[in-house]
Structure 1
Amino acid sequence: MKLATIRYESETQDAVIGRLKAAGVKVLIDVRAVAASRRAGFSKSLLAASLAEAGIEYVHLRQLGTPKPGRDAARKGHVAEMRAIFEDHLAEPAAQVELARAAEIAGDRKAALLCYEADPKGCHRSIVADRICASIGCEIENL
């Protein structure tokens, strides 16, 4: 079983949905703290509607997003600082509940974690993916 991760930095919505469909993804798990975007087609409502038209379920797990101090660190290129902030956040009960939900979803059907950052190594979604795969025994596939 594989858990996908996908980014939308410098991508169109059509290209992202096309990659999801080609990979057989059944549910997209949005792991952004703020599911809004200046990039056309990636704000929560429009993205969810477009995914539904493509036969892909949309789930937003806000507590699996990076808190503002972590996002600020990432924008400055301080990846280690972002990771430390996110690891602390992920230990909070609300984040643990949503992490368990994400693992349950990913264990049931092909899922992909969505965030903005192009490089998964510089994005918190890789931490979430690692935790999920450690929990359910899957491999990570970066689309």
Structure 2
Amino acid sequence: MGTSDTTAVTGTLISIGYEGKTVDYLVAQLLQQDVRVLIDVRLTPLSRKPGLSKVKLSEALAAVGIGYVHHRALGNPKDNRAGFRAGEPQSRARYRDVLESTAATDALAHVCELMDGGVVALLCFELDHAECHRDIVVRRLMKERPGAAVVHV
């Protein structure tokens, strides 16, 4: 990494949504933030936008040296998304319960491990992290890494 500040020790977490973006623009933003690994937190990593489904996205990232990991266990159930975006407390609580599963706990631990190797980005659809379950994932990760830097792109 080449820096001697605390970021090297505690990590940097990027929260990014691809809403309204092309795959090329997304990749450029990730490169600008020095992302080493992108964690896809969509339950189902499919998109109607060209290049943003799992296989094409992972290929575009690999072409510029960025790793790709899909953590399905960190996805928000489809029937919970509308309520979540609307800020409904029961939808937020339901997603927090999702993060209590063994698979989600293991996925969160893996994200923390990846942060040891450089900048990690969490990806989902919503541009505004406050409307996306990424917000809760970031908050949970910050409990494990209170000194980490968080950047919402």
Q: TM-score range by the shorter chain?
A: over 0.9
**Is the CA contact (8 Å cut-off) linking 1:70 and 1:81 kept in structure 2?**
no
| Residues 1:46 and 2:56 aligned together | yes
* CA deviation after TM superposition for structure 1 residue 112, in Å: 0.4
Query: 1:94 and 1:74 mapped to 2: Cα distance?
Result: 21
Q: Which has the higher helix share?
A: 1
Larger mean CA deviation between 122-131 and 24-33 belongs to: 122-131
Match for residue 97 of structure 1?
106
- Report the TM-score when normalising by structure 2: 0.87
Q: What's 2:135 paired with? A: 126
How many pairs are equivalent?
A: 142
| Letter aligned with residue 93 of structure 1 | T
Quote the Cα distance in structure 1 between the aligned partners of 2:130 and 2:89: 10
| Aligned position for 1:112 | 121
Larger Rg belongs to: 2
Identity of aligned residues (%): 39
Shift of 1:69: 2.4
Aligned-partner SS, 2:24? helix
Shift of 1:80: 3.1
Equivalent pair of 2:84/2:133 in contact (CA under 8 Å): no
Unaligned runs of 5+ in 1: none
Q: TM-score, normalised by structure 1?
A: 0.92
Deviation at 1:79, TM superposition (A): 4.4
The answer (yes or no) to whether the contact 1:79–1:122 under 8 Å persists in 2 is no
Q: Which moved more, 1:39-48 or 1:77-86?
A: 77-86
Point out the more displaced range, 17-26 or 62-71: 62-71
Stretches of 4+ aligned residues off by more than 6 angstroms: none
